[in-house]
Structure formats: structure tokens, C-alpha cells
Amino acid sequence: MSDPKPQSRISFATRFGVIAATAGSAVGLGNIWRFPYEAGNHGGGAFMLLYIMFVLILGIPVICAEFAIGRQGRSNIFGSFDRLSNRKGWKFTGYIGILASLMILSFYSVVAGWTMEYFVQSLTGGLSAASDMHGRFGEFCSGWRCVAYTVAFLVINFLIVRKGVRKGIERMSSIMMPALFVILLAFCIYSLTLPGARQGIDFLFNPDFSKIDSKVVIGALGQAFFSLSIGLGCMLTYASYFKDSTNILKNASMTAGLDTLVAILAGVLIFPAVFTFGASPQEGPTLVFEVLPDIFNRLPASRLLSALFFFMLFLASLTSTISMSEISTAFFSEQFGMSRRRSCILTTAICLVFGALCALSFGALGNIPFFDFFNYFSSDILLPVGGIFICIFAGWIIDRKLLRNQLTNNGTTCVKFYKVLVFCIRYVAPVGLAVILAVGFGII
């Protein structure tokens, strides 16, 4: 493996580009598809409260730790760990991140493919003609079209990542993120005018603490990590493209804040509609693909609304997948000296194989649950475990002075919060994560 040269690395061009890219990575299907059904299954308000708590006390410190390691290491995940410690064992954390990113990208592209199919079907009227959404979804998932859309999505993703950090990732995120916000806000305003708005909002914001058990706690933790794109080196890789003047704590807080805001807005969009039309909030992963299209069909301008909604989901997916791809693209190109194009092709090729397996697990390979396994193993295990290692590395292994200089930009910003932040990185986050994982797996 070759040692990457730090000077040759590019950086994000603008401050807006940085926040569009990091928030773009965080905001994705996790907010609009996963959060509402997880909250619906786990009692609404109580889940949301736990989720927000985890974002604040575990999420923000882990993002800051990733940012600090990435900007100091100025390399891909593997290279940064390698450069900042002389103990070989730490390279292992790099491999965890690369494996997690490839696994998430594979199953995520399947769902992103569903959003493309639903967008096309909304425009052509195929969705409004369907009377049985459950049957419609099942038929699509089990057919070859599901694999074809997964491949199509991965190709679009490839075309953006191949263009590089500034022209591909930064430029596209800066266009797609504002568009996503405008569409989401318009939907929320519309949803709040529906007759079931009060009931929906009540469900989302009124916590029922009797619903909290170990499953809800683990679910909220996994959701927080997945949604913030942390624990696998995504934020670390992006931070390696930050300028020295980028304010780490401010960017971490803005990323977490925007991500949580979008998750809440997605709930505000979905639950009033669900209650207005007497659907159940506990539908699970198909909430967005079966219940919502049914609801759109009963509203005026249903084709337009539904097309806009699935287009928004597609944009959200794409800003996230480009960040997942960047982890291994940077790894292959910097550690093995490959061209960006080649490393992008390699990343895409691996995910095409895994993605096809995940897509086929809804059809021809129905007896092998690839999709569920990839989803569970990467989000609920690899991410929190990766998060623990990242915090230990930032808090205990790298030079204290380097960490301080990174978190405070050489003592010029955020000095007041530095001690609290380091305390969270060294103790609160790793211990909290270990305890939650242990409880979740029934070890204690």
C-alpha cells in the first residue's frame, strides 16, 4: 500500500458546500423512510425523546471525534488511523468502516431504487391506477425491475462520485439539499391542513414512557447512528477535505440539528396523513411505500404530489450514498494508488453484486434474508462498535494537543466547550455505547 501525500488532497471550496455535504450525508432515507416507521413501531413520542437525547450526548461528540481524526489525518479512514497512531491494531477500525460502508451502500441502494421506480410510476400514472398497494409493492420487489432500479441508482451515484470532491460531491449536495428542504417544507404545510393533523402531531410529540424497553432503546440508538452517518468513517472522510479554518463543533451541531429537524419534519408530514385516512402508524418499513401512495391517491393532484415526494426521497438517498461511496473510493485510490475513476468503479462493482443479492432477497432468493442481515449487521452492530473505537482513538490514543488544536482550531474557537466535549468523547460516549449494546444483546 502506498502512503498518500497530504499536500495533494483537495478541500471543499465553500462553507456552504461543507454543511451541504455533511448534512446531505446525514439526511437521507434514514430520516424520511426509517425514522417515521421506527417511531411508529416504538410508540412515537417516547422514541423521539430518546433519539434526541442520543443525538445530543452521543451523536455530536462522535461527529466531533470523526471530524478531528479526519482533518488531522488528512487521509481516508484507513490512512488517518494509520498516520495518527503507531500501533498496527488501529488499522482494524478502518476495515470495520469500509465493510460497514459497502454493506450499507448495498442495501440502501435497493431502497433508493424503490424511490426511483415509485417516482417513475407516479409520473406515468401506474401508481394511481393500482388499487392494492401491498400487492403492488410485493410485485415490484420480487421482480427483475427491483434489481434493474438498484443498478440504475448505483450508476447515477457512480457518475457523481467519479467527478470528485468539489465538482461531484460538493456541487451536487449544494443543489440537492436546498431542493429537498423546499419540497419537504411545502409537504409539511400541506399535511398540517389535513383533518387528522392534531392526532398525528400528538402521536409524534406526546411521549408515553411506558413504551420504553430495551428494544426501544437499542432501536433509538441504532437510528441515531444510522441517521447521523457516524461510526463508519463517513464524517471522518469528509473532514479530511475540510479547510483548517472550518469550525468543527459548529459544523457538527449544524449537521446534527438539520438531520434531527428533517426527521421531525418527516414525522410532521407523514403522521397527520396517516391519522386522517385511518391508516396505522405501525406499518413498518412499508409505511412510505404502501400507506403513503394509498393516501396520495385520495388527495387532489395525486400524481404530482406522489412524484414530488418520491423525487425528494431520491435526492435524500443520493446525497447520502455519495458519502458512503467516498469512504472506499478514497481508501482504494489513496492506499493502492488507483485513479479516482478506477476506485469508483471498484466500489460500484462490489455494491452491484451485494446490492443485487439484497434486491433478490425479496424475490428469487427469498429464503436468504440478505437485505435484513446487511441492514441489521451494519447499522445495529458495526456502527455503534465503530463509534466506540473512534471515541477511544480520539479521546485516548491520539496526542492530546492535536485533539485540542483540532476541536478549537488552535485555541481560537469553542474553547469554552472543549472540556465538556472531550469528557463526552473520552467517557460518556464509549461507556454509554458499550452499556447500551450490552443491554441490547442481553449481556447485562
Neighbours of 130 (CB within 10 A): 18
Q: Which residues contact 391 (CB under 8 A, 6 or more apart)?
A: 61, 62, 65, 425, 426, 429, 430, 433
**Which CB, 34 or 163, lies closer to ligand PHE?**
34
Least distance from C-beta 288 to ligand PHE, angstroms?
13
Is the alpha carbon torsion for 316, 251, 5, 78 positive or negative?
negative
| Nearest residue to 375 via CA among 386, 359, 364, 388 | 359
Binding site for ligand PHE (CB under 6 A): 25-26, 28-31, 104, 226-227, 229, 232, 234, 320, 323-324
Least distance from C-beta 255 to ligand PHE, angstroms?
10
Least distance from C-beta 309 to ligand PHE, angstroms?
16
**Which CB, 102 or 133, lies closer to ligand PHE?**
102
Cα–Cα distance measured from residue 246 to residue 14, given in angstroms and rounded to the nearest whole number: 10
What is the distance of C-alpha 374 from the center of its chain?
A: 15
**Which CB, 42 or 426, lies closer to ligand PHE?**
42
Least distance from C-beta 324 to ligand PHE, angstroms?
5
Least distance from C-beta 230 to ligand PHE, angstroms?
8
Question: 191 near 268, Cβ under 8 Å?
Answer: yes
**Which CB, 357 or 383, lies closer to ligand PHE?**
383
**Which CB, 251 or 297, lies closer to ligand PHE?**
251
**Which CB, 31 or 347, lies closer to ligand PHE?**
31
Least distance from C-beta 218 to ligand PHE, angstroms?
17
**Which CB, 101 or 408, lies closer to ligand PHE?**
101
Q: Which residues contact 368 (CB under 8 A, 6 or more apart)?
A: 357, 361
**Which CB, 58 or 422, lies closer to ligand PHE?**
58
DSSP 283-340: -GGGIIIIIHHHHHHTSTTHHHHHHHHHHHHHHHHHHHHHHHHHHHHHHHHHHH---H
Least distance from C-beta 229 to ligand PHE, angstroms?
4
Least distance from C-beta 141 to ligand PHE, angstroms?
19
Residue 255 vs residues 94, 187, 201, 375, 395: alpha-carbon distances, Å = 23, 22, 24, 23, 21
Which ranges in 7-132 belong to alpha helices (H)? Answer: 15-26, 29, 35-41, 45-54, 60-73, 77-84, 91-124, 126-129
Look at the block and give the residue holding cell 463509534.
387
Cα–Cα distance measured from residue 222 to residue 334, given in angstroms and rounded to the nearest whole number: 30
Cα–Cα distance measured from residue 54 to residue 220, given in angstroms and rounded to the nearest whole number: 8
The number of C-alpha atoms within 13 Å of 166 and in the hemisphere containing its C-beta is 9
**Which CB, 31 or 72, lies closer to ligand PHE?**
31
Least distance from C-beta 108 to ligand PHE, angstroms?
7
- Our CA dihedral for 203, 207, 211, 217, rounded to 10 degrees, sits at 110
Is the alpha carbon torsion for 209, 214, 219, 225 positive or negative?
positive
Least distance from C-beta 386 to ligand PHE, angstroms?
10
Cα–Cα distance measured from residue 430 to residue 4, given in angstroms and rounded to the nearest whole number: 30
**Which CB, 29 or 330, lies closer to ligand PHE?**
29
